[in-house]
């Protein structure tokens, strides 16, 4: 069988290249914008999402992670007394000030956790180990922020809120949505740095016993412990994301860019495919004249659009994934999960097929006598 669709595409290589360029640009634009959005979304909440806790307990009315308010740590014992709770640990997350060797100050997000429990601590540790954080005044920083925080080596002594701190480990890829790098330390150190009373905490992280229904446990803890908000990790994650993405307006900008990326990409794809189809309109007229049915012509045009979409998508997504890989070495990450790849592929196919269907309409309503015009 003669594949007119394939031949039409590959015969005029320049035109095909133009078509592909349009699709590659669109796929790249949409993927990077959505990846940036997803990256921001993930970054805002990964301290929560990666905490390995099942429940987070905050002071009543806390809107986001960085705005925690102290409450009595005795509530930890009330939580531990709730059936179904395996562990409950205190946690501090608060903005602090890191003094650079130059004397300048840099804002950081200090995370204080119990190194014995593992919950709420750092991940992707590249140097040092959690045990090192049990010592007084020790911290972990992320490799991404070594330059920003002027950290050159393990054992370097720095200053946080006027107190001494010693770098004992590095992590990789723990970013901040704000300009303040996350720095991990023990709960006890964090209490000292921030001058939080010994019997106070900002958060309680809860691990449920295996097989316990988390929502049910949340409800029971909530009933048992007064003057706090109890949320599942998923609920707290969403609350945190909502605050940064919607509440501050920062996310709206990123989201708008992502939506615009999708729209511009869609328009470029549609225009590209439409032009590519209309360029062959006289040939479709000839096809009709020699006896091709409408469905035959539909198939040729749609197949043409799908081939263009698939090749353009593979190249565009390939470039985007390289960009995503490179971005993981920077403080602004483009995250492209597999579901985004599949969704964008389906979307690209739909865009291309829709645009070709619009041009089919033109083909089906073309003046039949076009075939008699001198080419």
Among 299, 300, 309, 298, smallest CA distance to 349 is for 309
Minimum distance of another protein from residue 5's CB (angstroms): 10
Q: Say whether 191 sits in a helix, a strand or coil.
A: helix
Q: Which residue carries 């001198």 as its tokens?
A: 374
- Which residue in the set 293, 330, 332, 343 belongs to the binding site for another protein (CB under 8 A)? 293
Per CB under 8 A, does 371 bind another protein? yes
Stretch that binds another protein, among 94-102, 186-194, 292-300, 333-341 (CB under 8 A): 292-300
10 Å Cβ neighbour count for 179? 11
Q: Are strands 157-160 and 85-99 parallel, antiparallel or unpaired?
A: antiparallel
- Which residue in the set 124, 152, 179, 294 belongs to the binding site for another protein (CB under 8 A)? 294
Minimum distance of another protein from residue 10's CB (angstroms): 7
- Which residue in the set 289, 322, 346, 350 belongs to the binding site for another protein (CB under 8 A)? 289
The DSSP 8-state label assigned to residue 209 in this structure reads P
* For another protein, the closer CB: 147 or 373: 373
- Which residue in the set 14, 226, 291, 365 belongs to the binding site for another protein (CB under 8 A)? 291
Cα torsion angle, 161, 114, 229, 124, sign: positive
Per CB under 8 A, does 372 bind another protein? yes
Cα separation, 52 vs 261, whole angstroms = 34
Q: Please give the residues from 4 up to 23 whose contact with another protein meets the rule CB under 8 A.
A: 4, 7-8, 10-12
Determine contact, residues 234/53, Cβ cutoff 8 Å.
no
* For another protein, the closer CB: 231 or 287: 287
- Which residue in the set 286, 310, 331, 354 belongs to the binding site for another protein (CB under 8 A)? 286
Cα separation, 266 vs 194, whole angstroms = 50
Determine contact, residues 180/141, Cβ cutoff 8 Å.
no
Determine contact, residues 335/35, Cβ cutoff 8 Å.
yes
Stretch that binds another protein, among 3-11, 61-69, 121-129, 237-245 (CB under 8 A): 3-11
Supply 30's token pair. 């949409």
- Which residue in the set 18, 70, 259, 292 belongs to the binding site for another protein (CB under 8 A)? 292
Per CB under 8 A, does 299 bind another protein? no
Among 161, 233, 173, smallest CA distance to 203 is for 233
* For another protein, the closer CB: 239 or 280: 280
Q: What dihedral do alpha carbons 172, 241, 115, 107 form, nearest 10°?
A: 70
Number of residues that bind another protein (CB under 8 A): 27
* For another protein, the closer CB: 104 or 290: 290
Cα separation, 208 vs 46, whole angstroms = 20
- Which residue in the set 288, 307, 316, 351 belongs to the binding site for another protein (CB under 8 A)? 288
**Which residues of the shown chain bind another protein in the complex (CB under 8 A)?**
1-2, 4, 7-8, 10-12, 282-283, 286-294, 296, 368-369, 371-375
């Amino acid at each position: 069988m003669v594949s007119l669709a394939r031949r039409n595409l590959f015969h005029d290589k320049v035109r095909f290249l133009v078509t592909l360029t349009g699709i590659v640009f669109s796929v790249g634009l949409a993927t990077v914008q959505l990846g940036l959005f997803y990256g921001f979304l993930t970054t805002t909440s990964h301290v929560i999402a990666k905490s390995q806790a099942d429940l987070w307990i905050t002071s009543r009315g806390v809107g986001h992670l960085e705005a925690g308010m102290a409450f009595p740590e005795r509530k930890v014992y009330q939580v531990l007394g709730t059936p179904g709770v395996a562990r409950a640990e205190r946690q501090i997350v608060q903005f602090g000030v890191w003094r650079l060797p130059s004397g300048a100050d840099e804002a950081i997000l200090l995370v204080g956790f119990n190194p014995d429990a593992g919950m709420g601590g750092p991940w992707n540790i590249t140097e040092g180990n959690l045990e090192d954080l049990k010592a007084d005044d020790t911290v972990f920083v992320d490799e991404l922020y070594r330059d920003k925080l002027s950290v050159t080596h393990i054992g370097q002594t720095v200053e946080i809120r006027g107190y001494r701190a010693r770098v004992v480990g590095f992590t990789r890829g723990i970013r901040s949505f704000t300009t303040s790098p996350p720095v991990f330390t023990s709960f006890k150190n964090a209490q000292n740095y921030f001058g939080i009373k010994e019997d106070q905490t900002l958060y309680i992280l809860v691990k449920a016993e295996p097989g316990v229904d988390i929502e049910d446990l949340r409800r029971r803890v909530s009933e048992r412990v007064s003057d706090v908000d109890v949320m599942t990790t998923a609920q707290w994650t969403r609350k945190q994301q909502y605050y940064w993405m919607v509440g501050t307006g920062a996310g709206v900008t990123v989201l708008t860019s992502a939506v615009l990326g999708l729209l511009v990409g869609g328009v470029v794809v549609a225009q590209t495919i439409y032009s590519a189809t209309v360029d062959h309109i006289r040939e479709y007229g000839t096809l009709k004249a020699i006896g091709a049915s409408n469905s035959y012509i539909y198939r040729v045009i749609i197949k043409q659009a799908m081939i263009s979409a698939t090749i353009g998508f593979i190249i565009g997504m390939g470039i985007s994934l390289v960009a995503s890989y490179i971005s993981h070495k920077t403080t602004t990450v483009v995250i492209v999960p597999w579901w985004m790849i599949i969704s964008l592929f389906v979307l690209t196919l739909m865009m291309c097929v829709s645009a070709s269907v619009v041009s089919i309409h033109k083909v089906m309503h073309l003046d039949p006598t076009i075939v008699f015009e001198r080419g």
